[in-house]
Structure 1
């Protein structure tokens, strides 16, 4: 005979077994969900890591390009400064050479030829002209050009040659050594650039 107590025990076992099975299934589902969530999270972290690495790599590459660009610009600037320094030194040396030249017989011959080249313009001169030159060159210029009505100007830093201004005809004749030097600037710059290139420019 099956008693009520026995039935309760059997029922309890069945219920407990069912609960155990359900609980185990729930645990499996929870574990599977946790594993899936972990896998998903790991994938997200990996993806974020890749994005971060790529971003850092891109920034590093950009920084590298920036540094290289700055280095090139600085090198160009140093080269430009060096070229300017050489250019100014060279010009100053030429000024000294021209000042020395202005005290030689060769200069007197050059001055006479320069005057003779402009002599035809002043033939029959009537209007007053202004003449800039060195005081020691005044007589040669005045006689060679046949100037009559002249106002003289002797600037202190005048190297040699002459500048004549005929305001009545709106004409300026420049045969000065200073202008000759200024007109040679492009050639001097090209020579210095060529020199730096051949020297390897170790700037």
Structure 2
């Protein structure tokens, strides 16, 4: 009897999670294209962080996936007020890991939808796939995000991305001082 109750609860949770993800996707699709892009970037970076820590999603236990989902959900809630796109992206990543622990077709649909978002982004820019494959520091992840966004805005060099990010033109002396991480990020992405 208790086993059936637990199974029904898990199916019910999968239904509720599916509705939450569906509602979020409808909301994201109504937002500005740049914000949509940032949501996907944050999804990718949250996923990448998990990969960096665990090395292989398939080797994580069900309990481990539940813990990852819980931690990501907490981060999504903390992030939302400061950066809506980050909150949404991290929530999607949390939902992905929770869905991997749940039974039924709705849980499978959630993981397929989010897998599709990740794969689609990786196909759009080989850089995103490379970014997922290579371990990076927090500073590098910030620079990589800026480079991806800068490319979307039409930047043609690492210096342009740095200037867009800083909101002003850099002097040659400033550029010499700051260029290393920007050029590394540019080379990794392009």
Q: In proportion to residue count, which structure has more strand?
A: 1
Task: Note whether the superposition's TM-score is higher than 0.5.
Answer: no
Larger radius of gyration: 1
Which of the five TM-score ranges fits, normalised by the shorter chain? under 0.3
**Bigger relative contact order, structure 1 or 2 (CA pairs below 8 A, ≥6 apart):** 2
User: What TM-score does the superposition give when structure 1 sets the normalisation length?
Assistant: 0.21
User: What TM-score does the superposition give when structure 2 sets the normalisation length?
Assistant: 0.22
Q: In proportion to residue count, which structure has more helix?
A: 2
